[in-house]
Amino acid sequence: MSDKQLGLFDEQVDVQASVRNISDWPDIDRFPHNFNSRQVEEIVLKDVAGSVSPLVVTGFTSLDYVIDFLADLPAESPKEFRILIGSEPTLSRRSQYSINKKNLPQEMIDYWLDAGISLRLCYKIVLVMEMIRTGRLQSRFIADDRRKLHCKIYVGDEAVTLGSSNFSFTGLRKQLEANARFHCRKEPKRYLEARQLAENYWKLGDDYNGYLFELLEQLLKIATWKEALGRACGELLEGDWAQKYICTHLAGAGKELWPSQKVGIAQALWMVENVGSVLIADATGSGKTRMGAYLLRAVMDRIWSTGRARKDITALVCPPGPVEESWKREAISCGLPLVALSHGVLSQQKSGRHEDVMQSIRRAQSLAIDEAHNFLNPKSSRTRGLHGNMADVVVMFTATPINRGVHDLLMIVDLLGADNLEDSALELFDRLARRLGNQSGKFMTTQEERLVMQKEVQRFTLRRTKKMLNALVDCDPDAYRDDLGSRCRYPEHRSRTYSTGETETDKKLASRIRELAGNLKGLANLRSGLELPESLKGLLDEDVYIRGRLQGARGLALYNLMSRLRSSRAALLEHLLGTETTAKEFGITGFIKPEETGNVLGRLRESAGQVQPSSLAKKLPVWLADGEAHRLAVEEELRIYQEILVLVGRMSDSRERAKARRLSELLKRYPLVIAFDSCLITLEVIRNLIREENDHGQVLVATGAKEQERKKVNHLFALGSKAKGVVALCSDAMSEGLNLQQASAVLLLDMPSVIRIAEQRVGRVDRMNSPHPEIEVWWPLDSGAFSLKADRKFFQRYNEVKDILGSNLPLPENLIPEELQAHAPATVEEMIQELHELERKGETWDGLRDAFQPVRELLEPVCGLVPEMVYRDVRGSRARVVSTVSLVRAERPWAFMAVAGAEQGAPKWVLIEGLQGRLVTHLEDVVTRLRHFLKDDPENRPMDKRASELIARFLHLVLKAEVSLLPRKKQRALEEMRQVLGHYLRQAEQAGDRERIAVLKGVLALQEVPLDDQERPDLDAVAEGWLDLIRETWYQKLIQRRRFKPLRLRDIRKELKSRPIPLGRIAEVFSSIPLSQPIHTRIIAAIVGLPDSAS
């Protein structure tokens, strides 16, 4: 932002002159001044433009006005134009002392490279450069740095003017100036003396043309479209603009942040400034905790730099234990005052600390959420608690943002802030939220709706894959070192398989169990009945819905049985009989979990004959509509389960022993080994078997329920640990949020049902700071009888799944269990191949892309638009160039502009189609249109007057729609400000309250579009001012609401209208709004499509 402040309530001198009866002013021809309709400009410009060799003595901040004036002069008159450039003393009063003294040429260059110049002047700059080449323009400066030139003199053939007016817009038009003018015939002596003074100074001057030409070249470079686009990509992707917030911060123990972390911070800050919040979903092990702490510090620094820092806090919601401790260490290392809040306390409403935590969340100015995928259940206390925030910035961290498809997308958007969404997306999300609330857990969306939601979430998402991060490492390997000084890079994967050792008898028994499971109706999954929600009526065919629900229940019953059997016999028994009974059966005496699970048989027996009412009763099978039929169906279901129990009892323990033996063998090769299984009771069985095989090693079972062993594993497997001979048997609770990279071998005891689970498990050791060049992942090679693939084939073959999925109708998500859908990998080989293919392509399993990915793809060797050599030259050039502009032939006018943020803030991309078109600002949409316009490599066009006029029109469109460059929340804040203050103004006008009218009109005028490209009130600061002004009303609404749903700005409009904000408070907030650098001067790069004149 500019250091200048806009005085909202400054008295208008014109009005005051009238009120105070000041009407007698000197003749403007003798004393040129700016007052009422008279301006210095009308006198001075006429004098110099009509002369043969005029001389202008002015300060160097007048350059833009000089260019504008010179380019509009007739071709032959004046024959020569002389300009003597003086200093600007006010600029030399710096806040810091520097031993590096600057001469005037360098001071002028630095000033204009920092301030920028309006792109509207691009053609005029070309004309002025031509005037320098031909010698028509002569410029000089006085080189004595101890006695600087500071005067304003305008010498024409007939008159000389000297005084306070700079040769600038403000000096010649706006400011109250004092000048004297001497005419050669009316006051010849004074005219000659004043002219002599100016000519003597001119003679003292040294040639400045070379410096001026160099400066003009740096202010504007006419380039090819590939160079302009490369410049725009580099400014956005490499984040140089953000370095002032992070370059002085050293990571813990004096270690520099990795380049990938610095770039990540810059790109996250870009999202904060452009879309309002950010979801950081980098690959596991990328150093996101350190990056996150420094990002939050950078966010805090930016807030402080705007003067908006409140007494409120930066709050972090994260898992307790090692994750929380890690965040605290990083916060201390970067000087971040961080309040860490536990997931657990949020969940426990009866806890004594719960209300304190809620207060911290409500008062947080910046809110961070680690392991954010744990907050995607809208019914949980901790998720509802987070909806009570009124933070300016929300930052979410998770490597797995989507676990349950569209449902999770919806929850993510709620947490990021609904007011940050586009209007169309907001309507969709509101509609889906209502639908979700009426569907009893079954959530229906169409394919089009899913794509819209995914695209909207991607706008907030920073997601670098392992391939992308390794590519960054390869560019500068020595810059990536861990706290021990070792180089960092993701290790190479070595996928191995091991035989699970089942006997032929076991295989036959497993096949028979699957056959029996195929006869189950899945009544345990239908105990709540079957009802078509009101919101789905008319949208979904009732018969398809019923068939889908019935087949889904059958599929889930099949999957639950077979997945438990793949884990262990104990896991299957627990599923059927419960934890306590199974533990006794297998001689497990230690603590397994805090509460009983499983016991399908017991729950089934209790439900026998209990039929739930349904409006679909006439279409339902009789065993879901009639109590007696239901009781008989339950008895048949129980009979099948009993037969399965008998078969399990006949199975050997060969599979479990084979897994235990494999772990014992790995322990001989590796000091530390990690194994994962989804069933806690299986881990206890495997521990006992390993102890039989190997009594020398240490075996730990680490689950969410075993806090002490969890901490021990985290300590023994942490980076730098010297522990040896330890096997950690882990549940999936250990597959996230923990760094166990001192191990290099992971064994999967059961086959992950989906890619996501496999990635999470391997991610504990697959980290950038792994001390190992490669890691081994061991996969269970289940025989066909036990395999997930066999489950899927069986289910697909004997059910109507194809008919349902092929019906081309919108279906409730998870109607058919994800684990049994045919498109997913089902064998070890398929799973390994899928993971390798995703890594090779740099893609993610859930399809959620990084917001910057469309921009990165512009630089790809195969499908990109900017050649690698061009991009390297643009980024590697040491020349400071303010604006790079390209003109290309086009069928109709269009323009692309990369706009620097105010006060070197985050750059923004804008595309406009046609002279009536709206601004396109979403990166993906901008890139799509750029690819369309540039796909045929359009011919470059020269800069001329017509092109300059077209650029000026596009610039005016951007100026008029500048508010659309703000995050949507701030756009809505400005709209609410207009609505509420407009209401206050109408009331004041009705009451005749002149003071209130004046203040409110002044505040509302802050949003008016300026008539020219001069400075305007910073719209971002105006929006933030309004958000600060309404914060107490927002807070009261939060604590009084009954329903836990996202609170939007429009929801408090009624309260603000009924209980007006005090006038003094409004005046206080908006009395000193910073002035923003004109958007015309902030164009970093531009490509303009220019039709032929015939078009």
pLDDT tens track for 921-931: 999 999 999 99
Give the Å distances, CA to CA, from 60 to 83, 86, 208, 217, 588. Answer: 10, 6, 12, 17, 86
Average pLDDT over all residues of the chain: 83
pLDDT for 229 equals: 95
Task: List the single range of 246-255, 523-532, 551-560, 764-773 with lowest mean pLDDT.
Answer: 246-255
Confidence at residue 651, expressed as pLDDT on a 0 to 100 scale: 96
Q: Give CA separation, 477 vs 469, 489, 768, in Å.
A: 11, 8, 12
| Contact of 746 with 764, CB cutoff 8 Å | yes
Q: Decide if domain 235-404 falls under CATH 3.40.50.880.
A: no
pLDDT per residue over 520-537, tens digit each?
A: 999 998 888 888 766 566
Q: For residue 121, is pLDDT > 70?
A: yes
30 CB contacts (<8 Å, ≥6 apart)? 180, 181
CATH number of 31-221: 3.30.870.10
In three-state form (DSSP H/G/I as H, E/B as E, the rest C), the secondary structure along 45-83 is HHHHHCCCCCEEEEEHHHHHHHHHHHHCCCCCCCCCEEE
- Nearest of 460, 413, 296 to residue 1048 by alpha carbon: 413
Tell whether the model's pLDDT for residue 824 goes beyond 70: no
- Give the pairing of strands 393-397 and 443-444: unpaired
Residue 808: the pLDDT is 36
Predicted confidence at residue 606, as pLDDT, reads: 93
Average pLDDT over residues 988-1000: 92
Helices 788-798 & 542-567 angle (0-180, nearest 10): 150
> Which range in 340-354, 389-403, 740-754, 1041-1055 is most confidently predicted, on average pLDDT?
740-754
Tell me, rounded to whole angstroms, the distance of Cα 824 from its chain centroid: 29
Average pLDDT over residues 232-243: 78
Verify cis geometry, omega within 30 degrees of 0, for the bond prior to 32.
no
The one-character DSSP state at 461 is E
Give the model's pLDDT for residue 890.
Answer: 94
Beta bridge partners of 395: 278, 368
Backbone φ and ψ of 878, nearest 5°:
-90, -10
The segment(s) of the chain belonging to CATH 3.40.50.10810 are 235-404
- How would you write 364-412 as a 3-class SS string? EEEEEECCHHHHCCCCCHHHHHHCCCCCCEEEEECCCCCCCCHHHHHHH
Pick the CATH number of 491-502+653-784+827-843 from 3.40.50.1100, 3.40.50.10420, 1.10.10.10, 3.40.50.300: 3.40.50.300
Quick one: pLDDT at residue 304?
73
C-alpha to C-alpha distance for 69 and 64, rounded to whole angstroms: 9
Distance between CA atoms of residues 716 and 722, nearest Å: 8
Weakest mean pLDDT among 540-544, 568-572, 625-629: 540-544
Burial class (CB in 10 A: 0-12, 13-18, 19+), 534: exposed
CB atoms within 10 A of CB 454: 18
Q: Specify the pLDDT at position 42.
A: 93
Q: Which residues, other chains included, contact 37 with Cβ-Cβ below 8 Å and sequence gap of 6+? A: none
Classify the C-alpha dihedral 108-113-114-116 as positive or negative. positive
CA dihedral of residues 394, 398, 404, 410 (deg, nearest 10): 10
pLDDT digits (tens, 9 = 90+) for 182-196: 999 999 999 999 999
* Count of CB atoms situated within 10 Å of the CB of 696: 8
Contacts of the segment 713-719: beta carbons below 8 A, 24+ positions apart: 713/738, 713/740, 714/321, 714/322, 714/738, 714/739, 714/740, 716/672, 716/742, 717/672, 717/674, 717/741, 717/742, 717/743, 718/742, 719/482, 719/483, 719/484, 719/769, 719/771
Query: Which of the pair, 1071 or 858, is modelled with greater confidence?
Result: 858
Q: How far apart are CA 919 and CA 667, in angstroms?
A: 61
| Residue 662 pLDDT grade (very low, low, confident, very high; cuts 50, 70, 90) | very high
The reported pLDDT for the residue numbered 478 is 92
Q: Are 775 and 744 in contact (CB under 8 A)?
A: yes
List alpha helices for 206-249, DSSP H: 209-219, 225-237, 243-246
Greatest alpha-carbon span in the chain: 124
Instruction: List, in sequence order, every residue forming a beta bridge with 27; answer none if it has no partner.
Output: none
Residue 406 has pLDDT above 90, yes or no: no
Q: Assess contact for 603 and 575: CB atoms under 8 A.
A: no
Per-residue pLDDT reduced to its tens digit, 294-310: 999 888 887 776 665 55
In the predicted model, is pLDDT for residue 253 greater than 60? no
Distance of CA 68 to the CA centre of its chain: 40
Residue 818 binned pLDDT confidence (cut-offs 50, 70, 90)? low
pLDDT at 33: 94
Q: Give the H/E segment covering residue 656.
A: helix 654-669
Q: Which of 165, 193, 191, 194 is nearest to 178 (CA)?
A: 165
Backbone angles phi, psi at 526, to 5 degrees: -120, 20
**Which is more confidently placed, 642 or 1037?**
642
Contact 37, 1027 (CB under 8 A): no
Instruction: Give percent above pLDDT 90 in the chain.
Output: 38
Positive or negative torsion for Cα 811, 815, 821, 827:
positive
Would you state the pLDDT for residue 520?
93
DSSP states of 518-574: TT---GGG-TT-----GGGTTTS-HHHHHHHHHHHHHHHHHHHHHHHHHH-HHHHHH
pLDDT digits (tens, 9 = 90+) for 70-94: 988 998 889 999 999 998 875 543 4
User: Amino acid identity of 661?
Assistant: R
Q: Read off the pLDDT band of 746 (50, 70, 90).
A: very high
> Which one has a higher pLDDT value, 320 or 976?
976
Q: Which of 328-337, 356-365, 809-818 has the highest mean pLDDT?
A: 328-337
E strand map for 837-893: 883-889
Give 461's contacts (C-beta < 8 A, 6+ positions apart).
Answer: 278, 279, 281, 401, 848, 849, 850, 851
Residues 6+ apart with CB under 8 A from 932: none
pLDDT at 436 exceeding the cut of 70: no
Convert the pLDDT of each residue in 899-938 to its tens digit. 887 665 678 999 999 988 889 999 999 999 999 999 999 9
Residue 163 pLDDT greater than 90, yes or no: yes
pLDDT at 22 over 60: yes
Rounded distance, CA 841 to CA 282, Å?
A: 16
Q: What pLDDT was estimated at residue 874?
A: 81
**Cα separation values, 289 from 206, 293, 333, 385, 386, Å:** 57, 6, 12, 23, 20
| Delimiting residues of CATH 3.30.870.10 domain(s) in the chain | 31-221
Q: What is the bridge-based pairing of β-strands 905-913 and 919-920?
A: antiparallel
pLDDT at 611 over 60: yes
How many helices (DSSP H) and strands (DSSP E) are in the chain? 45, 30
What average pLDDT does range 598-609 have in this prediction? Answer: 92
Can you read off the two tokens belonging to residue 58?
Answer: 């002015």
CA–CA separation, 257 vs 286, rounded Å? 12
Buried b (16+ CB within 10 A) or exposed e, 105-124: bebbbebbeebbbbbbbbbb
Nearest 5°: CA angle at 765, between 759 and 771? 145
**C-alpha span between 657 and 660 (Å, rounded):** 5
Any idea which residue has 């039709």 for tokens? 1091
pLDDT at 173 > cutoff 60: yes
**447-485 tens-digit pLDDT:** 677 777 778 888 888 888 888 899 899 989 999 988 778
Region of poorest pLDDT, from 438-447, 598-607, 692-701, 829-838: 438-447
pLDDT at 355 (0 to 100): 77
Residues composing the chain: 1095
- In this structure, what are the phi and psi dihedrals at residue 257, rounded to the nearest 5 degrees? -60, 145
Give residue for tokens 């800050």: 269
SS3 sequence of 322-373: HHHHHHHHHHHHCCCCEEEEEHHHHHCCCCCCHHHHHHHHHHEEEEEECCHH
CA distances, 1067 to each of 304, 979, 993, 995, 1058 (Å):
22, 17, 15, 11, 19
Question: Does position 832 have pLDDT exceeding 70, yes or no?
Answer: no
Amino acid letter, 400: T
CB atoms within 10 A of CB 582: 25
For 102, phi then psi, to 5°, come to: -110, 135
In the block, tokens 């989906």 appear at 754
Residue scoring higher pLDDT (546 or 774): 774
Q: Residue 220: pLDDT above 70?
A: yes
